[in-house]
Structure 1
Amino acid sequence: MAYLWNSIVLTRVFGDTCGDRETRVELTSRIVWLEERHAVIIDTPEQTTAKLPCLSARDVKTVIRYYARDTSWPSKRLTRREAERLIEAGISIAVVHQGKGNKPSSFSKPLGRLDGAYARQYAVDVIGQPEGSVIYFAVDYDAGADDVGDLIVEYFIGVKEAFEFAAGMTNHRVGVYGNGLVCQTLLDLGLVAHTWLSQSTGHHGHREFKASGRWSLFQNMPSELCGLDVDIDDLNPRLSEFGSFDRLENPLSPVWTAFRRGAFHELGPESFDEVAIQSSVVKRGGVGLHEGPGLEFQVKQLLIAGTIVRMVRIYGDWALVDLVGDGLIDGAVHRAFLMPTA
């Protein structure tokens, strides 16, 4: 069974023609080692909650999940509920912020400030990420020397400024995911505490930075585990940690906590923008009515396209809505899927 699984992964990743027999044997041996070793670290953009029994059985000890200020794939984002389930299963968590991050236009000092502020706020108010752990920020393309000097460094200066400005919040460290040149430059400048070297061996500075031994994590080629698309990551044998966490802090934001306890009435009007706007659901496939303002809250029901709701209050990107016209809040809908009707 193990050999069959490894053969499938090998074919999926490298195709039917990935070199001579010796190369294939070496690659297969590598995947066998990854499968059979203990304390497996994986990263995945997919929700893991339903797969936790399988992941535990495969000796997964850490799952790296995502924060994202701007993403078209909301399930990519770690939620408090998923974080709780991971820790209950004995699996620690690491996090990386990535919205787009795959092109030069994603990087500048102002964008670094925005992403840094969002990541810190989300870590504290929603997840309860403990002090001293790391938030990695992804540079998911092969940035060359010009982009690194002109854009990437400035972006991470912005992230640093956002972290320093967040007075009163727990103290988190900054990490980077990227090619060797990105990792080395930011480490040399003292802008990051940990580096996560991407799997792309042909990218700028990869071989040199890998050989330097200064990386914290090394990402291996994509594979599949427990029905999830994952990358398996190596911890530098010289290190004992890379910024993961195995507990969650409280309290969270007053709004989140109140919704969690079903105590919305405890919140004062200063927590929200008061509105009274009749709106219509404009998403073709319908939109979820959540128990509270965030993807970490369960979906109570599906509101089909054309459903009329009344936005009662606004909390960030979310509208607290009344479905029956009595002025009471029935749940929360993301405002992107609502359009005023009058």
Structure 2
Amino acid sequence: MYGKIIDTPANTTPHLKKLKAAGVQTVIRYYNHRDSTSLPEKGIKKSEAAALDNANLSIAVVFQQGNNKIAHFTKEAGIRDGQQAIKRAKKIGQPSGSGIYFAVDKDFYRNSELKAVKSYFEGVQVGLAGGDRTYRMGAYGSGTVLRTLLEADLVELAWLAGARKWSGSQAFLKSEKWHIFQNGLDLRDGKIPHDTNITSPGTTDFGQFSLSAAAADFEMLNVADKPLTMFEVSVSSSLWLRGGPGTQFKKLRGLNPGLQVYGLERKGDWIAVDLSGDGIVDGFAHGSYLTPLVGGLHTLPHDGTRAVDIAYQELERGVREIDGPETNSHIALYYRDMDGVSYDDSEQAWCSYFVNFCVTQTGNEGTNKPNARSWLRWGKTVEGKPRHGDIVVFWRGRRDGWKGHVGFYVGEDSDNILTLSGNQDDAVSIKKYSKSRLLSVRRV
């Protein structure tokens, strides 16, 4: 099954009609020194590039000639590969301003290995500088390799390899510092071996290009949709995928722990799940057991309810801490929606997690911070009488200290503000807080 972005070592010319009909928008192909007997069509030729352009499919390129043994990663090799990439780019007519990725097709993580990889990319920079066109340099590899190269300012574009167990890849995936991610490996449809890829949230420019765009006034094609939100199944045994948003619906199949799926929309606590990345709902899973990897609940379509409405729903559920080391599943959801992990709710204060959860459920951004006083810099200061649903921030300990409490304004009496929030007497509840402790009222 194809996605919108595929990479393949095969000549796509005979298959363009099929690719186009399947919704493919960008094809990633290879530059190299020479093709091998096992992959005789790996390097893109001018005729294929022209055919892709005529089919209105954009192109992205990656240089790879082996690139999976540490002995290859020297500055001298980088210079040679950079120079060869320039030659290949000129042959097919790749315009200035677009990108060329260079592959690191091995899980290198030792300091000595990363030093060699950096040396190689320093050489690539030298090699690319020798041409009459300017290209943006990218890297394909593990999370550790990409983070190292980005921090060293050696590359501009990051393509995260699909080997999710490679060093640093899970953390880098969550960071959203990548431009594209290889989300489906070793697929085959008909005669076309390929991998599928998605873009990082909001990314439309990952170095792709069109031959028909003039080099002098080249503009990146806006062909990549915002990708699907990605979750990991976080259960000890298996999670049921159901035919609708509730336990009354038919069980469709079990989802194994660690499985990565895509979220399409929210219906209450349930998430419409896409298993293959084709944009079609395959079933529903409860959000309590899905840990965000890319985006989160706040990036999914919502029904337009206000944050305080979400808070009332949680109040009606009777969310309360559980005695002992176990954490209430809903409180765990508040933790995971922001941090990606859960905590012991008797140890980690959760009022700010609760408010962040309610706000992000409506499609707005929270503070993404566990500190209640972080809300003092969120939204706008409310002057005058608060409205129902405004966010109120109180001081604890000392007014000039760092401790605080945050919740939703739901009423007041002469001396107190009625506040709906979490972590109030170990539960989601409505509680009175003295007006003398009020630091600020905030509104989106």
- Per the alignment, in what secondary structure is the counterpart of residue 61 of structure 2? strand
Structure 2 distance, partners of 1:162, 1:110, is 9
Map 1:46-195 onto structure 2 (within 5 A).
46-72=10-36, 73-124=39-90, 126-166=91-131, 169-195=132-158
- Per the alignment, in what secondary structure is the counterpart of residue 75 of structure 1? coil
CA 1:51/1:147 → structure 2, altered by over 3 Å: closer, same or farther? farther
Does structure 2 conserve the Cα–Cα contact (< 8 Å) formed by 1:129 and 1:249?
Answer: no
Structure 2 distance, partners of 1:245, 1:226, is 26
Shift of 1:178: 0.2
- Per the normalisation by structure 2, the TM-score is 0.46
- Per the alignment, in what secondary structure is the counterpart of residue 166 of structure 2? coil
Q: Going by fraction, where is helix more abundant, 1 or 2?
A: 1
Structure 1 distance, partners of 2:72, 2:196, is 26
Does structure 1 conserve the Cα–Cα contact (< 8 Å) formed by 2:108 and 2:114?
Answer: no
Map 1:201-280 onto structure 2 (within 5 A).
201-222=164-185, 223-248=187-212
Does structure 1 conserve the Cα–Cα contact (< 8 Å) formed by 2:70 and 2:113?
Answer: no
Structure 1 distance, partners of 2:178, 2:110, is 19
Aligned to 1:42: 6
- Per the alignment, in what secondary structure is the counterpart of residue 129 of structure 2? helix
Deviations 1:24-65 (A, max 9, x none): xxxxxxxxxxx5x7xx00000001000001000001000000
Shift of 1:200: 0.6
**Aligned-partner residue type, residue 224 of structure 1:** R
Does structure 2 conserve the Cα–Cα contact (< 8 Å) formed by 1:55 and 1:226?
Answer: no
Structure 2 distance, partners of 1:69, 1:147, is 26
- Per the alignment, in what secondary structure is the counterpart of residue 202 of structure 2? coil
Q: Which has the higher contact order (CA 8 A, sep 6+)?
A: 1
**Aligned-partner residue type, residue 103 of structure 1:** K
- Per the alignment, in what secondary structure is the counterpart of residue 6 of structure 2? strand
CA 1:147/1:224 → structure 2, altered by over 3 Å: closer, same or farther? farther
CA RMSD of aligned residues (A): 1.8
Structure 2 distance, partners of 1:152, 1:249, is 33
Structure 2 distance, partners of 1:238, 1:100, is 32
Shift of 1:246: 1.4
Return 52-61 or 231-240, whichever deviates more. 231-240
Structure 2 distance, partners of 1:102, 1:118, is 18
- Per the alignment, in what secondary structure is the counterpart of residue 102 of structure 1? coil
Unaligned 5+ segments in structure 1 are: 1-5, 7-34, 252-342
**Aligned-partner residue type, residue 75 of structure 2:** K
Structure 2 distance, partners of 1:199, 1:142, is 11
Shift of 1:182: 0.6
Larger radius of gyration: 2
Unaligned 5+ segments in structure 2 are: 216-444
- Per the alignment, in what secondary structure is the counterpart of residue 14 of structure 2? helix
Structure 1 runs of 4+ aligned residues shifted over 4 Å read: 248-251
Shift of 1:134: 0.3
**Aligned-partner residue type, residue 15 of structure 2:** K
Q: How many pairs were matched up?
A: 212
Shift of 1:165: 3.1
Percentage identity across paired residues of the two chains: 38
